[in-house]
Structures are given as structure tokens and as C-alpha cells.
């Protein structure tokens, strides 16, 4: 990575946090030894094809692109790059599978395949976790303990619904929509795949899924899982390719449903792409969540929740708690505690089991984060970054904390999608609500307080699809997830997620 993309450290500490009671300026007394996860469990193919009609095929025009490891900038593999011709082939394969097999199977039979996929994901979880960390840059402890178990959990959960659609929608007859076009981002590649494929299949739809160009490998390993599970050919098709190919998929006339997770900007384009058709659409877009800490909150717990809220997955999380709203009377204490905690965050090799913050997913994302952080400094906010050595190569960024932030600053308004926290203060609950809702987004929020009544009162006033209380970034397949305003519409997860893949008729 070029040095000029690094932001200078404004304030650093190489000594132990004061709360450790070691005395001023004393060095941290120990270091973690390296604990690298072995890559041996992953067998990387030199070249991956598209997965269409149950088979691996090359792109019609033979095009390929290279996917790299963002922590080393080394190439991992070549991947077939779909064009509009391949999209057409994939949609035809999905349509055939829909008409000839999948929608004709009983829910009970469909469930067997979903249970099988869930089991295989669990059996191969270590392989998936290592591959996901290599291709995306996320720490192995997160891919191992969050992404992959949750992906399997979504297949378990929706397998359970496949033969119970009549109970999910009492008095209504649920029929599948048909062929679903699904476009996923790079921040949770396999998990986003499972959020989309599991409910679609459970409800009797077939799918064509386009993974993000920087993270195609776990989706292509999932293609192997489909083969291993004997899933009928064409039920799942996976077509890596650039953004324009995503648009060919969205606008393909034989697609019945479009599901997208990604930026609000592309979400708008997709909305325009389906306008005037009868395609069903769900959009899960960006966010700028407020994490609100009241003066009666358990502060040490809140600090852990704040850290998890913004530094989990390098902050590349649509629902990240990127705006911290702190009640004025405790602001200094909380910020001191946060700075102490930041000094202990370990940034580095994603495959090291001790790493807390891995690599940023791509050079362009790193440049975006760097530019926004520079704008924060230029607009007058106060930057704090702990002193931590960043690896020589790869796309890394220090966990960053901004104080003295005004509502008008770009870092308080725009989705940064990086490990950058903007701290603002408030005096009263009303002011907290006003500031929290003062954003075009409305995906998530967090509230930290000792009082249940305050939680209920705040939740009812927040314009956010998910509000966590005394925790943050918790996910469960049974729980619906989605946004308000520019964060999109439609829900994934739970029965709501199933609803997005069925047509309901009166019995």
C-alpha cells in the first residue's frame, strides 16, 4: 500500500492504559505470540468457473478476473467473469429448474436439501472460515465464530419452514415467486449469500446469485456444497462478474424477484432498473447508526459494545454503530475508557487467531476511508488513533476515534464503512432522539441505559429497523433485519424474510 494513503497519527499511546494501574508511561508488559490459523485446509484452485445448471463452466467469452488477498495484496485465484450472455444462460437454467423440479417438490423434500446444506456447511466450517478470511480480510475469529456459524444457522432455520408455509401465513396460500436474482456485497460474503439463498429455496424459488468482485471464493465453494448435497441442477447458479453484469441480471426479463444488499447509490440504480415491471424487490442498503449511551449505563459493558459496534469486521458493516452519542455528563469518562480499550485492539494478519481488526477489503475501500478521515481532520474534529504497527503490505487502517465532531461534518453524515467512530454528545433523551434520527439512513441503533422504561421509550422514537439495547451487532436467523428511509426496504431473516420470497393468495 502506498504510504501516502496513511493518515498521520495525531495522538498515540504505546504504554499501558492508565486503568491497568501500572503507573505512568509503563510499557505494556506482554505481547500475544503469533497464533496463525493454517491455510492447509483450503485447496485453492488456480481458476474457478461460473456455476450454472449444476456445473462449473467457463464464461462464454472466456473472460477471467483475479481475486486477491487484501492482507498481502497477493493473487489468490483467477475467476471466470460472467457477461450478459452468461447471465441469460444462468437465468434459463434457473427457470428450467424452477418449472421442472424445484417448485414441484413438496416442502418436506426441499427441506431435506436445506438441512443437508446446513450440515455440510458445519462440517466444512473451518475450510469456509479460512477461505473467507483470505479473500475478504476479516479476522479468522470473526469468520470462524460469526459468519460461518450464522450462515449454517440460516439454512437450519429456513429448512424448518420449508414444509410449514401454510402455518407461516395462516389462511393464505403461499406460492414461490419463481427465479430470484440476488446481488451481495463483500463485507459478509457467505453470510449474505445464506440470508438470500436459504429463504428463497425454502419457499420454492430458484436463484441466480452475483457475489461481489472482491470476494467471490466462498460463493464458489458454496457451489461445491450444492453439488455435494445433490441439489437439483439449476436451483442455485452463481455468476461472479462486474457491477454491469449485476445490472443485466436485475433487468433480465425472466427474473421474478430482485434482492440486493450494498450501497444506497447502487440500490437506487437497481430500483430504477426494476421500475415499471412486476418484479418483487428488497433492498438492504447503507447505514449511519447511532449508538446512544446514557449516564446510567454500565460504562465498561458499554465500552465493549461500542468497540464491537464499530470495530467488528473493520467497521465494514452496514449496521455499524458509527456515531456514538454520549450523554454530556459522562462523555469525558467514557472517552477515556474507550481510548484505553483502543490501545489493546490488535490489528494485523486476518488469519491470526488473536487479531481483532483485519485488512480493509480493497484498495478502493481503503482510499475511501482515508479520504473521509482526512475530511474529518480538515473540518475540525479531533483524531485519536492508538499506536499499533500496521503490516508493511496489505490494506490496513488503524482503529480511529473522532471527538469534537459536529453534526455537519462528513464523518457524522456519510457511511464510512471502516473502523472509524465519530463521537457526539447530548444532554436530554429528546436531543439524543433528534440527533440519532438526523440522518438519511435508518438501519440500526443502540441504546445503553440501566432503565427498561427508557429503552422502551427510546425504541418507539428511533427511526431504525433494528434497535439493540445494552448490546450491539447481534444477529439471529429468527429475527428480521432491514431498514427505513435510504437504508432500503423489505426484511431478511425470520418469517418476514420468507414473506419476501412468496406470493400470497386467499385460500
Site string for ligand NDP, 269-288 (x = CB under 6 A): xx--------------xx--
DSSP secondary structure letter of residue 15? B
- Identify which of residues 285 and 343 has a Cβ nearer to ligand NDP in the complex: 285
Three cell numbers, residue 94 = 434457473
CB of 287 to ligand NDP, least distance (A): 7
Residue 136 within binding range of ligand NDP, rule CB under 6 A: no
CB of 114 to ligand NDP, least distance (A): 24
**Which stretch in 69-77, 108-116, 154-162, 242-250 sits in contact with ligand NDP by CB under 6 A?**
242-250
Phi and psi at 389, nearest 5°, equal: -75, 130
The HSE-up count of residue 128 (CA atoms within 13 Å, CB side) is 31
Residue from 417, 472, 481, 501 touching ligand NDP (CB under 6 A): that is: 417
Three cell numbers, residue 337 = 475508557
Largest CA distance in the chain: 74
**Which stretch in 225-233, 261-269, 399-407, 490-498 sits in contact with ligand NDP by CB under 6 A?**
261-269
d(CA 149, CA 142): 10
Residue 365 within binding range of ligand NDP, rule CB under 6 A: yes
3-state class (DSSP) for residue 245? helix
- Identify which of residues 204 and 376 has a Cβ nearer to ligand NDP in the complex: 376
The CB density around residue 404, as the number of other CB atoms within 10 Å, is: 15
3-state class (DSSP) for residue 72? coil
Residue 415 within binding range of ligand NDP, rule CB under 6 A: yes
- Whether 257 and 90 have beta carbons less than 8 Å apart is answered as no
| In 203-282, alpha helices (H) | 217-228, 243-251, 264-274
- Identify which of residues 237 and 365 has a Cβ nearer to ligand NDP in the complex: 365
Question: Of 318, 319, 388, 492, which is the active-site residue?
Answer: 318
CB of 374 to ligand NDP, least distance (A): 15
Shortest CA distance to 422 belongs to which of 401, 438, 436, 440?
401
Residue 194 within binding range of ligand NDP, rule CB under 6 A: no
The CB density around residue 226, as the number of other CB atoms within 10 Å, is: 23
CB of 491 to ligand NDP, least distance (A): 15
Residue 242 within binding range of ligand NDP, rule CB under 6 A: yes
Q: Between residue 196 and residue 215, which ones bind ligand NDP under the rule CB under 6 A?
A: 210, 212-213
Residue 268 within binding range of ligand NDP, rule CB under 6 A: no
CB of 193 to ligand NDP, least distance (A): 11
Q: Classify burial at 29, counting beta carbons within 10 Å of its beta carbon; exposed 0-12, middle 13-18, buried 19 or more.
A: exposed
| In 330-390, alpha helices (H) | 331-342, 363-378
- Identify which of residues 183 and 412 has a Cβ nearer to ligand NDP in the complex: 183
- Whether 86 and 79 have beta carbons less than 8 Å apart is answered as no
**Which stretch in 90-98, 177-185, 347-355, 465-473 sits in contact with ligand NDP by CB under 6 A?**
177-185
CB of 382 to ligand NDP, least distance (A): 24
HEC profile for 425-494? EECCHHHHHHHHHCCCCCCEEEEECCCHHHHHHHHHHCCCCEEEECCCCCCCCCCCECCCHHHEECCECH
- Whether 448 and 294 have beta carbons less than 8 Å apart is answered as yes
Residue 185 within binding range of ligand NDP, rule CB under 6 A: yes
Shortest CA distance to 182 belongs to which of 504, 500, 503, 505?
500
318 catalytic, yes or no?
yes
Shortest CA distance to 381 belongs to which of 367, 360, 357, 400?
400
Three cell numbers, residue 504 = 400470497
- Identify which of residues 386 and 419 has a Cβ nearer to ligand NDP in the complex: 419
CB of 242 to ligand NDP, least distance (A): 5
**Which stretch in 30-38, 256-264, 378-386, 467-475 sits in contact with ligand NDP by CB under 6 A?**
256-264
The HSE-up count of residue 323 (CA atoms within 13 Å, CB side) is 31
**Which stretch in 36-44, 104-112, 244-252, 446-454 sits in contact with ligand NDP by CB under 6 A?**
244-252
Three cell numbers, residue 243 = 457491477
Gyration radius of the chain's alpha carbons: 23
505 catalytic, yes or no?
no
Residue 399 within binding range of ligand NDP, rule CB under 6 A: no
Site string for ligand NDP, 341-360 (x = CB under 6 A): --------------------
- Identify which of residues 37 and 486 has a Cβ nearer to ligand NDP in the complex: 486
Residue from 67, 261, 425, 444 touching ligand NDP (CB under 6 A): that is: 261
Shortest CA distance to 321 belongs to which of 406, 398, 386, 416?
416
- Identify which of residues 177 and 247 has a Cβ nearer to ligand NDP in the complex: 247
Q: State the residue for C-alpha cell 457526539.
A: 424
Q: Between residue 310 and residue 329, which ones bind ligand NDP under the rule CB under 6 A?
A: 318
Could you give the angle at which helices 125-136 and 148-162 cross, rounded to 10 degrees? 120
**Which stretch in 197-205, 228-236, 257-265, 466-474 sits in contact with ligand NDP by CB under 6 A?**
257-265
Count of chain residues binding ligand NDP (CB under 6 A): 26
Residue 368 within binding range of ligand NDP, rule CB under 6 A: yes
Residue 375 within binding range of ligand NDP, rule CB under 6 A: no
- Identify which of residues 211 and 234 has a Cβ nearer to ligand NDP in the complex: 211
Q: Which residues bind ligand NDP (CB under 6 A)?
A: 183-187, 210, 212-213, 242-243, 246-247, 250, 261-263, 266, 269-270, 285-286, 318, 365, 368, 415, 417
Could you list the active site residues?
A: 284, 318
Amino acid at each position: 500500500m502506498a504510504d501516502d494513503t496513511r493518515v498521520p497519527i495525531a495522538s498515540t499511546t504505546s504504554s499501558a492504559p492508565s486503568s491497568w494501574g501500572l503507573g505512568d508511561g509503563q510499557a505494556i508488559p506482554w505481547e500475544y505470540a503469533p497464533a496463525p490459523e493454517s491455510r492447509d485446509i483450503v485447496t485453492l484452485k488456480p481458476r474457478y468457473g461460473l456455476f450454472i445448471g449444476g456445473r462449473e463452466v467457463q464464461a462464454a467469452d472466456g473472460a477471467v478476473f483475479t481475486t486477491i488477498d487484501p492482507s498481502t495484496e497477493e493473487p489468490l485465484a483467477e475467476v471466470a467473469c460472467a457477461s450478459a450472455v452468461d447471465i441469460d444462460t444462468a437465468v434459463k437454467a434457473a427457470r428450467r429448474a424452477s418449472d421442472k423440479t424445484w417448485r414441484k417438490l413438496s416442502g418436506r423434500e426441499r427441506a431435506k436439501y436445506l438441512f443437508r446444506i446446513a450440515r455440510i456447511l458445519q462440517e466444512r466450517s473451518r475450510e469456509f472460515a479460512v477461505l473467507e478470511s483470505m479473500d475478504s480480510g476479516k479476522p479468522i475469529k470473526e469468520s470462524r465464530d460469526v459468519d460461518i456459524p450464522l450462515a449454517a444457522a440460516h439454512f437450519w432455520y429456513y429448512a424448518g419452514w420449508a414444509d410449514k408455509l401454510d402455518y407461516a401465513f395462516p389462511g393464505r396460500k403461499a406460492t414461490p415467486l419463481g427465479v430470484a436474482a440476488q446481488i451481495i456485497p463483500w463485507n459478509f460474503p457467505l453470510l449474505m449469500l445464506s440470508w438470500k439463498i436459504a429463504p428463497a429455496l425454502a419457499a420454492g424459488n430458484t436463484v441466480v446469485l452475483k457475489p461481489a468482485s472482491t470476494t467471490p471464493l466462498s460463493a464458489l465453494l458454496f457451489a461445491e456444497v450444492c453439488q455435494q448435497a445433490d441439489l437439483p441442477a439449476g436451483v442455485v447458479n452463481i455468476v461472479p462478474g462486474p457491477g454491469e453484469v449485476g445490472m443485466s441480471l436485475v433487468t433480465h426479463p425472466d427474473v421474478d424477484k430482485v434482492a440486493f444488499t450494498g450501497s444506497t447509490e447502487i440500490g437506487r440504480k437497481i430500483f430504477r432498473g426494476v421500475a415499471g415491471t412486476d418484479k418483487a424487490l428488497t433492498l438492504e442498503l447503507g447505514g449511519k447508526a447511532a449508538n446512544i449511551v446514557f449516564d446510567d449505563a454500565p460504562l465498561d459493558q458499554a465500552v465493549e459494545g461500542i468497540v464491537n459496534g464499530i470495530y467488528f469486521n473493520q467497521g465494514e458493516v452496514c449496521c455499524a454503530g458509527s456515531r456514538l452519542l454520549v450523554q454530556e455528563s459522562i462523555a469525558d469518562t467514557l472517552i477515556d475508557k474507550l481510548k484505553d480499550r483502543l490501545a489493546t485492539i490488535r490489528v494485523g494478519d486476518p488469519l491470526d487467531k488473536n487479531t481483532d481488526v483485519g485488512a480493509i477489503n480493497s484498495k478502493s475501500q481503503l482510499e475511501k476511508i482515508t479520504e473521509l478521515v482526512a475530511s474529518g481532520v480538515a473540518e475540525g474534529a479531533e483524531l485519536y488513533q492508538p499506536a499499533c504497527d500496521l503490516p508493511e503490505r496489505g490494506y490496513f487502517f488503524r482503529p480511529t476515534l473522532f471527538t469534537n465532531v459536529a453534526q455537519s461534518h462528513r464523518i457524522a453524515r456519510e457511511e464510512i464503512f471502516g473502523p472509524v467512530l465519530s463521537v457526539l454528545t447530548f444532554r436530554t433523551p429528546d436531543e439524543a432522539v433528534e440527533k440519532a434520527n438526523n440522518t438519511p439512513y435508518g438501519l440500526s441503533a443502540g441504546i445503553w441505559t440501566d432503565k427498561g422504561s427508557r429503552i422502551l421509550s427510546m425504541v418507539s422514537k428511533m427511526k431504525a429497523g433494528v434497535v439493540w439495547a445494552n448490546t450491539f451487532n447481534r444477529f439471529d436467523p429468527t429475527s428480521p433485519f432491514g431498514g427505513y428511509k435510504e437504508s432500503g426496504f423489505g426484511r431478511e431473516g425470520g418469517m418476514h424474510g420468507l414473506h419476501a420470497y412468496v406470493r400470497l393468495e386467499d385460500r
